[in-house]
């Protein structure tokens, strides 16, 4: 598959218009009929046909034939719409050709804003695990069926809004910059994933900073991360040697009044304290840490 930036540069305005028409009509059709696309795009039929031929070849739409000819959007097409919106908004200027990381439900790239700031660009990809698995582990997934793309868009919206609120109260999270559909643009903090970080200078202080962020999330924002481990903490070391742990991956958060919130918070804290015990021999009792995060104690 061609890199996303090269695919994006292949498209012209009429291609984006056709993609947008299909996206909007997918709430009504599984495959949008060709005649409906032609009518809604307000382009000459030959232009619509040329765009659909290109988009189908680039796997940005999927074509069906039989009783009628119709098209539906693919994730690749959704990517193009989101990138185009972010570029037009002035939130994104360039995007790396290769991924920085690939997860079960997202792809992460680096990029730059028009002002030259390096950013992380995260594409949510609901659908890599089964729908029932999504419902089980993602409490934000609605009870009624949504398409994978709708769930991916919901994940992007939730993550951006969580980062906004967390950053506002001083929690250690990447600063959010923009989002569109299923794509979130945020500050590139750099650093090393905690599970790879072995020569900690002050692991006790680092663990306390993580617990402080969980406390701010719980007491000031009213949410629980709900999937915390050493795999979604990035450690940044400054010139003075101070270690700052940033907590990432927030789309699965739950509100503190959710029936499962306390159990998920206890699990988050247990996972992270056990890791610090195993890796750095830092001993913190999970129950004491839980009381601290919930505001029931002033120290750990």
| 90-187 has CATH 1.10.10.10 classification | no
Residue 133 has pLDDT above 70, yes or no: no
Sequence length of the chain is 300
CATH architecture of 192-293: Orthogonal Bundle (1.10)
Q: What are phi and psi of 44, to 5 degrees?
A: -60, 140
Options 79, 107, 227, 249, the catalytic residue = 227
Residue 298 has pLDDT above 60, yes or no: yes
**In whole angstroms, what is the distance from residue 246 CA to residue 151 CA?**
25
Lowest-confidence region among 126-140, 151-165, 167-181, 249-263: 126-140
Q: Is 202 a catalytic residue?
A: no
**In whole angstroms, what is the distance from residue 184 CA to residue 70 CA?**
30
pLDDT for 202: 97
**In whole angstroms, what is the distance from residue 163 CA to residue 178 CA?**
10
Lowest-confidence region among 46-55, 137-146, 272-281: 137-146
**In whole angstroms, what is the distance from residue 36 CA to residue 214 CA?**
49
Which conformational region is residue 143 in: left (phi greater than 0), alpha (psi within -120 to 50 degrees), or beta? alpha
pLDDT for 2: 87
247 and 285 in contact (C-beta within 8 Å)?
no
Please give the biggest Cα pair distance in the chain: 70
**In whole angstroms, what is the distance from residue 213 CA to residue 217 CA?**
6
Which conformational region is residue 192 in: left (phi greater than 0), alpha (psi within -120 to 50 degrees), or beta? beta
- Token pair for residue 216? 């701010």
Place of tokens 């698995």: 133
CA atoms within 13 Å, Cβ hemisphere of 28: 9
Q: 112 - beta bridge partners?
A: 94, 118
* CATH numeric code, 4-76: 1.10.10.10
pLDDT for 129: 55
* Domain residue ranges of the chain, discontinuous segments joined by +: 4-76, 90-187, 192-293
149 and 78 in contact (C-beta within 8 Å)?
yes
pLDDT in tens, 80-112: 999 999 999 999 999 999 999 887 789 999 999
């Amino acid at each position: 598959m061609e890199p996303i930036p090269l695919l994006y540069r292949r498209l012209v305005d009429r291609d984006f218009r056709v993609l947008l028409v299909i996206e909007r009509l997918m709430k009504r059709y599984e495959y949008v009929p060709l005649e409906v696309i032609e009518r809604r795009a307000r382009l000459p039929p030959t232009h619509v046909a040329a765009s659909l031929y290109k988009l189908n070849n680039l796997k940005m739409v999927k074509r069906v034939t039989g009783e009628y000819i119709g098209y539906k959007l693919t994730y690749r097409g959704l990517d193009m719409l989101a990138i185009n919106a972010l570029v037009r908004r002035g939130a994104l200027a360039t995007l790396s050709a290769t991924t920085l990381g690939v997860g079960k439900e997202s792809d992460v790239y680096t990029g730059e804003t028009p002002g030259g700031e390096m950013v992380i660009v995260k594409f949510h990809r609901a659908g890599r695990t089964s729908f029932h698995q999504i419902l089980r582990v993602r409490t934000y997934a609605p009870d009624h069926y949504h398409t994978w793309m709708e769930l991916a868009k919901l994940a992007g919206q939730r993550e951006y809004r969580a980062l906004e609120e967390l950053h506002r109260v001083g929690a250690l999270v990447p600063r959010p910059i923009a989002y569109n559909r299923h794509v979130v643009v945020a500050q590139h903090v750099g650093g090393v994933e905690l599970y790879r970080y072995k020569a900690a200078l002050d692991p006790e202080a680092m663990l306390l900073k993580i617990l402080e962020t969980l406390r701010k999330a719980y007491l000031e924002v009213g949410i629980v991360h709900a999937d915390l481990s050493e795999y979604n903490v990035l450690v940044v070391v400054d010139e003075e040697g101070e270690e700052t742990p940033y907590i990432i991956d927030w789309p699965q958060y739950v509100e503190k009044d959710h029936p499962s919130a306390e159990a998920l918070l206890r699990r988050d804290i247990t996972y992270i304290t056990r890791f610090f015990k195993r890796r750095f021999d830092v001993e913190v009792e999970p129950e004491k840490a839980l009381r601290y995060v919930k505001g029931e104690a002033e120290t750990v």
